[in-house]
Amino acid sequence: MKNVQPETLTLDRIATPVGEVLLVTDAEGAVRALDFSDYEARMMRLLGRHAPDAELVPGRSPEVVRKAVEAYFTGDARALDGLTVKTGGTAFQRSVWAALRDIPAGETRSYGQLAAAVGSPKAVRAAGLANGQNPIAVIVPCHRVIGANGALTGYAGGLERKKWLLAHEAAAL
């Protein structure tokens, strides 16, 4: 029987204007998770679903990834666009997360528009649930999804952060 070593992921901590972020990357530099430190338990739960056998070690992310995250929070709303992300999830969840990355910085979409973007216009609730299970906050910009009436709806990092992120992107552009 083959002895498979668990994947090692690096956990980095980066100070931002809206709190410390936890950034998890793999050996290839792909982002596996990002969340705010006060939501660490949520991030660990999602990471456990997407990389159940991974070993998480404290360390520093690859410089290109770290600098992109820092640049985003200091005013470059598009700094995260080129980063590679890697998640588990169902095919539907991954399609929703890919559609989130297609929403330009400074713009928003409704849950209905998100569902339509993945070819399932009647799956509004399912798109919303997938949005809420996104393990890579900010880089996979779930904060850019709002209610059909334009209201800011739930955000795993808190509505005040969602408001800040949207205003930050609008001001940066």
* Residues in the chain where the model's pLDDT stays below 50: none
81 falls within a domain: no
Number of structural domains the chain divides into: 2
How much is the pLDDT for 85? Answer: 97
Same domain, 49 and 111: no
CA distances in angstroms from 24 to 21, 53, 162, listed in the order given? 10, 14, 21
Residues near 106 by beta carbon (within 8 Å), at least 6 away in sequence:
77, 169, 170, 172, 173
Helices (H) and strands (E) in the chain, counts: 6, 6
Q: Write out the residue range of the structural domain in which residue 39 sits.
A: 8-73
Exactly one of 65, 80, 142, 145 is catalytic; name it: 142
pLDDT at 43: 95
pLDDT for position 1:
58
Q: Are residues 100 and 158 in the same domain?
A: yes
Q: Is 142 a catalytic residue?
A: yes
